[in-house]
Structures are given as structure tokens and as C-alpha cells.
Structure 1
Amino acid sequence: MSDPRVAAGRRRPSVTGRAALCAVTVLLTACTAAPAPHSAPTAAPSKPAPIRTAQGRGWQLAHVGDQRGVRLRAVAASGPRDVWALGSPNEGTGRVLLLHFDGRRWREHPAPELTWNSNDAKGFPELVVTGPRDAWIFATTPVLTAHHWDGERWSRSGLRDLDHNPGERAGAVALAPDDVWLVVGDHAAHWDGKTWTAMRLPAWATSVSAVAPDQVWAVGGTGRPLAQGSTGSQAATMRWDGRSWRLVPAPEDRTPSTEINSAGRPDGNIPRITLTQVVAHAPDNVWAIGTRQVFDYEDGSRQTTITMRWDGKAWSRMPGAAGVSAAGSDGADGIILTVWDTAGLSGAIRVSPDGSRTELPPMTEANRDRELDVSALAAVPGARTVYAVGVAYGEKFGPMIARYRPG
């Protein structure tokens, strides 16, 4: 999720019409369109219960780097002593920054030769790891490349069999060193430890997550991402069962827009639904987060956040949060949502499978009022610990890493 802010330690007004998930978003509670014949049930959720407040230690500021003006945009972990974070200049073009946590402290880690333009935040390189000697970074600009760390050096390989648009969002997940999935556009590729095998997907994908080798989920949209103001694409969810990728029906929203066009009549445009992240906990517990975008004649577009959950039989809409900047696993069975422009990481909530929402305790004491923006979240496997990465503003304006552990 990208950033609509900043310069020299101060925020600037958000820019209208940014790419998906850049705009400030609000909770989507229901859609009124009837489901298409082959879509999943779309029964509107009941009115969300009040948000509770969790008890415990809350968020802790784990690291603020001295690389001024750099924002961390991706984070991945294989265990408590192996956490990685990838970033780039908050504005302009520059080399990527890679940090690694070995259980004691964060250090800068050798990174592949990659430069990045902050104006293309939606296609930021994807980072996955299975251990200190096995990490992957996938970049889609200007060409699709896979960079692999073997514990000593980075090696690079092209993925020519995967058709994609430069800068398109890629998603990846690693179950083991010889079981890695990459999705981009309407293609997927699987690494078996020796070679990449490319295959077509039944829809366009932006994110992938897995429970097991035969329980891999990808999410995105039913159509190729088009220019701002286009309509028609709906949420798409796909599952790999060990043999093939199959489209799984997801709730649709074909509510015609009531925006008045230049002829003085409602234009009737259909919302564009795109899922941008998937979190798979179990075969009967998978989460998807994305956006609902409608054309606006004054501002170009309006976006709201949507959250869905798979219970093993069907997808259903879930309560979410307003102003979502990042989403990820809570390390248990739910998800955590963070918001833009948070003081001490206040406003972050956990959504449980039953739909209940709990606000996580923010930072305390000296960091209570620290202005932060979160770009990505990742849970540490088996540790009930979640890392949030982004940028810290103020006098020490640079890459930020925060840690949450339940009380």
C-alpha cells in the first residue's frame, strides 16, 4: 500500500487520483447489487459491533534508521531471528534499502542492484523469505526479474514467460526453498528449487498466500487494470489445488453510479473492485482485502476499503476500518489493519473471524505522539509477533519498524 505524503519531515496534502490504496479510505459496510448467476452469496453483513480496546503492551518502536527520507515498503519473516524489510526513497528515484533483523538488532543488508521511483508505489518489489540463506525479491520494472539470496550473494534471473505490464503489482509467497509462488497479471509461476514453471491464471492477480502446497490462494480482479475512470472489473479469488488454478466465486458489486454526467443524467458506471492482498490461515480461514473504486467527476475517483473472509464454503464481507494504509496477518487467525497518519500507531485494529474488531494499544511514553505512516505488515511464523514498516516523520525522518506482541 502506497504513500500519499511528504517532504523533509513534513506531510503534504494527499494527491487526488493516486493509484489504488493511496487515497484515504473508509469502511465499506454493504453493497446493494444482486449477485450475478455464478457469484458467491452477497448477504449484507449485520451492523458492525463497537470496536473494543485490547489490553497489553501494545506497539513498540523497534527501529528508526538514519537513512533520511527513506520509507520501508515491504517486510517478511521466517522466524523471530530472521526478519527482513525493504524500502526506497520516499520521493524521487534511488536504490532500494534492505534491512535484516537477526534477533538482536537491525542491520543494513546487501541488496540487489535495484532502483525505484516513488511515483510507482503500487508496483514496489515483492519480498519473501524462508530463512537467513533463502530470500527472494521480485521486481516488475522495467522488466520482470527474480533476485535470489543464497546466504552469500544475490543472483538474478528473468521470467520471460510471464506476460506483464511494467510496474504492475506482483505477489509472492514461499512455503519452502523449493516451493515458491509468484503471481503478476494473469500469470503465475512456481519455483521447485531448480526451475520456474509458468502458467495462466483465470483472472488478474495482485497477491498470493498459501496454507499448504495444495492450498494456495491468489486474489485480484476479473479484468486487466485499466486507466482511472474505467469500470467493470470485479473481485477475483483463485485457488491452486495441487493440479490447477480455479476461479472461486466472490461477491460482486454492480451497483450503477448515481454521479451526474455532463448530460445531466446518472452515468451508470459500475464500480471497479480490486483485491490487493490475501492472507491464508487455514483451508477454512482466508482473508482478502482490496478497494471499491467509483468514478467521480470532480475528484477523478473515490475509493473505499473492502474486507472479505473465506470460511471453507463461501466468501462473505467483513467489517473493516477507515483510512487503511496496510493490512496483514495478526499471527493467529485474523488480520490487522493500520491507518494513515497515525500518532504512535494508534487506530490499528484486529479483525477476528467472528467479525469482532479490537483496537490495539498504541505506543506509550516518548513515542506516544510520534507521527508514523505504515506501508506493510508481516507476522512472524509461530511467534504471535507482528512487524509494521513504513516511515517516521519529524526530526529523525527515515525508515521505521514497529513491533506488536499481544499482552
Structure 2
Amino acid sequence: MRRMLMGAGAAALAFGLGAGTAHAATPAWRITQATKHQGINDLTVAPTGSSWAVGEQTVNGKDRLLIQHLSGTTWKDVKLPANWSMPLKVIDASSSKNVWAFGEDGSVVRWNGKKWTSSKLAGGYHATDAEAISASDVWAVNGGGTARHWNGKKWVSVKLPAQVGSIHAVSAKNIWAAGSIGYTKGALIHWNGKAWKVAKTVTLPKPSDDATTTFMDVTVSGKSVWAVGSQSWECGVDGDDTCYKPLALRLTGTKAKTFVATKGVGYTKVAADGSGGAWILQGGWDPTFVHVTGDKLTSAAAPRPANYDVNLSTLENRPGTKTVWSAGGSYPEGDPDDPTGYGLYLSAG
């Protein structure tokens, strides 16, 4: 876990951003805010537009969780119970009165519009993604073959036909999740309100016996479902490197199209662009934003403060608009453990 110091460094970074010192990148994306915190792990935008983020911070040498809420154009800290210290990694909301966040130790925190409450998922279930559809309908997945479903009274375990780590809900009876079946099939599965079924799988030619294929994220844009990920395998002279084929799947009704890139690291996140296409985040450290319009893919490096690297972890569209958010952390070039790193928000549209 990276540590950080509060102080003059925050002002220096903020002034750097305001002065337009970001590296050249796609004109659509811009840095909108630097925070004095360690980093942002995830963010969500509810159908109502209510926007929330979770991250981490170090105060007086102690690690503390962070939840922020978008007020106007500024992300601001949310007051939380003083004794809370669980590391939150995932957040989702259906409105400003139904916000859920999940920690890697099984922690669950909930905002009902009046107060925060906390609980735990049985067995320390580590959610990697979640969808809050209503106060009585919440799903969490963790990359395995079971999901957890909140039915308004309790969390129940639901068996899945694939190992999935990402989930996206259109409605209570139209939910998509993505991951893999075994090690070689990228898998997209669907919930129709009664059962989970495999909707589409993708198998690529194997460049090596140890090659694996999986989808890392899923979303819906217009009439299409998008799943993104990669095929990866050990490579290099001594097998000490990892090679990738970035992979994206677009499913429109029963018609599927697969996009496979021949270079670069894997695709990690995907979000609707508000115009029927998609934004894809390629990689995490100093990543690339890929924009898909029709069958055309264009890409450019994510903007970053001068002399800083960035590590982006999330990508989210504001429903009904062309606004897309990304967030993560920024750290002095070549030193990801430098204590003067800071949280960062970017947006497009």
C-alpha cells in the first residue's frame, strides 16, 4: 500500500494541473481534479447522476478509508464514522439514497440517505465489482463462480455459469457479467430475472500453452453489450515477461464482433460514450484511452501531470450523457512508492 504525506506537495501538484502541464493526449480527456489523498479505487454514477468514489488516505501515519461525493464540479470528502478503517475497493449506487461500497476483507458499507451502516459478507467475500439496482436488489461478484445477491433481507449465494469479476445492470431483469470459462474462453453471461446463462464465449488461437483469455469489464452502450479484457501468456527470453492481445467483444442482439489488438497491454475497463460507442481503458499505469465508434478504434495516451506517472483504476459513464469519468492516482515518474503521490480525477465529454 502506497503511503503519502499531506502538505506543500498538494499545492504544487494542484498548481501544476491548473497551469496546463499535462502531457499531450487525446483532446477529449482532461484532468479535472487532484486530491490530497492516496488514490481513488473506484467510482460510480447513479442513473440519477449522483456520483460517488472510494479510495484510501493516510492521516497521521494511519490508513483510513475515503469516500467522496461529486458536488457540482468538485469531488468532496464524505464524513464517515471515526472508527471505520476497512479498505474499500468497489462502490455502486442507484441513487443518492442507495449507495453501497465493498472492501477486500468482505466489508460492506451502505448509505441510505440518512446514515452509514456497515456489515460483512460471509467468508470474507472480496467483491471485485457490484451493481446496486435498488435498496432490495444488489449484486456483488469476485472473479469466481458464485455471486452474492442482497434481496432486501440477507445476502444469498448464487451459482454462476462462469468465473466473473465484473457486472453491469440495465434493470433487475437485464444484467450482464463478464469473465471466463476455464482458462481459455472469455465469457459473457446474462441474468434475465430468473437464471444466469452464457450469452457468448470467445476463444483465441493460443500462442503458448500457458495462454489464458478473460474479460475484465462489461457495460451496455445503446443496443450493444461490450466486454473487454485480453489474452495473456509468458514470453521473453526466460519467460520473465508477459505478452498480451487486448480483446474486446461487442454483442448487438445475436450479432457479435470481436476486436483483437496485436500489441499493448490488456484492456481493463469499458464505459459507454453516450453516442452508442464505447471508451476503453488500456492498461493501468500511464494507460491509453481507446475510443470505439462503429468499427473504428482510435487511441491516445491518458493525460498526466508533468513529471508524474498515473495509475487509473476505473471508467464510468454518466447515464444519458456523453460525460465519462476516470480516476486513480498520480506519482512522481519512476517512483510509484513516493509518498507525494495523489489521487486524480479525469473526465471526457
Contact kept? 1:273, 1:291, Cα under 8 Å: yes
Where does 1:63-82 land on structure 2 (aligned, <5 Å)?
63-67=33-37, 70-78=38-46, 82=50
Report how many residues are paired. 315
Displacement after TM superposition at 1:134 (Å)? 1.5
Q: What letter is aligned with 1:66?
A: K
Q: Indicate which of 38, 41, 61 corresponds to 2:31.
A: 61
Secondary structure of the corresponding residue to residue 66 of structure 1: coil
Displacement after TM superposition at 1:302 (Å)? 3.1
Displacement after TM superposition at 1:378 (Å)? 0.8
Q: What letter is aligned with 1:234?
A: K
Aligned to 2:221: 281
Aligned to 1:398: 342
Q: What letter is aligned with 2:96?
A: P
User: How big is each residue's C-alpha offset from its partner over 1:92-124, in whole Å with a ceiling of 9 and x where there is no partner?
Assistant: 9932221111224221113472444xxxxxxx7
User: How big is each residue's C-alpha offset from its partner over 1:11-31, in whole Å with a ceiling of 9 and x where there is no partner?
Assistant: xxxxxxxxxxxxxxxxxxxxx
Contact kept? 1:58, 1:361, Cα under 8 Å: no
Aligned to 2:243: 302
Distance in 1 (alpha carbons) for counterparts of 2:74 and 2:114: 20
Aligned to 2:111: 149
Seen in structure 2, the aligned counterparts of structure 1 residues 176 and 377 have a Cα distance that, compared at 3 Å, is same
Aligned to 1:136: 100
Displacement after TM superposition at 1:309 (Å)? 1.3
Displacement after TM superposition at 1:81 (Å)? 5.5
Displacement after TM superposition at 1:153 (Å)? 2.5
Seen in structure 2, the aligned counterparts of structure 1 residues 80 and 209 have a Cα distance that, compared at 3 Å, is closer
Tell me if 1:248 matches 2:199: yes
Tell me if 1:235 matches 2:186: yes
Distance in 2 (alpha carbons) for counterparts of 1:286 and 1:95: 36
Q: What letter is aligned with 1:63?
A: Q
Contact kept? 2:49, 2:318, Cα under 8 Å: no
Distance in 2 (alpha carbons) for counterparts of 1:401 and 1:85: 10
Seen in structure 2, the aligned counterparts of structure 1 residues 362 and 299 have a Cα distance that, compared at 3 Å, is closer
List gaps (5 residues or longer) in structure 2.
10-24, 333-338
Tell me if 1:292 matches 2:261: no
Identity across matched positions, percent? 22
Seen in structure 2, the aligned counterparts of structure 1 residues 293 and 242 have a Cα distance that, compared at 3 Å, is same
Secondary structure of the corresponding residue to residue 218 of structure 1: strand
Aligned to 1:27: none
Contact kept? 1:375, 1:388, Cα under 8 Å: yes
Q: Which has the higher strand share?
A: 2
Contact kept? 1:72, 1:391, Cα under 8 Å: yes
Displacement after TM superposition at 1:239 (Å)? 0.9
Aligned to 1:212: 171
Aligned to 1:386: 324
Seen in structure 2, the aligned counterparts of structure 1 residues 154 and 302 have a Cα distance that, compared at 3 Å, is same
Distance in 2 (alpha carbons) for counterparts of 1:212 and 1:80: 14
Contact kept? 2:244, 2:265, Cα under 8 Å: no
Aligned to 1:86: 54
Seen in structure 2, the aligned counterparts of structure 1 residues 387 and 80 have a Cα distance that, compared at 3 Å, is farther
Seen in structure 2, the aligned counterparts of structure 1 residues 251 and 314 have a Cα distance that, compared at 3 Å, is farther
TM (normalized to structure 1)?
Answer: 0.67
Aligned to 2:72: 103
Distance in 1 (alpha carbons) for counterparts of 2:47 and 2:193: 26
Q: What letter is aligned with 2:141?
A: V
Query: Which is bigger in relative contact order (C-alpha 8 A, separation at least 6)?
Result: 1
Distance in 2 (alpha carbons) for counterparts of 1:379 and 1:370: 26
Distance in 2 (alpha carbons) for counterparts of 1:374 and 1:125: 13
Distance in 2 (alpha carbons) for counterparts of 1:206 and 1:341: 20
- RMSD between aligned alpha carbons? 3.5
Tell me if 1:170 matches 2:128: yes
Displacement after TM superposition at 1:396 (Å)? 6.5
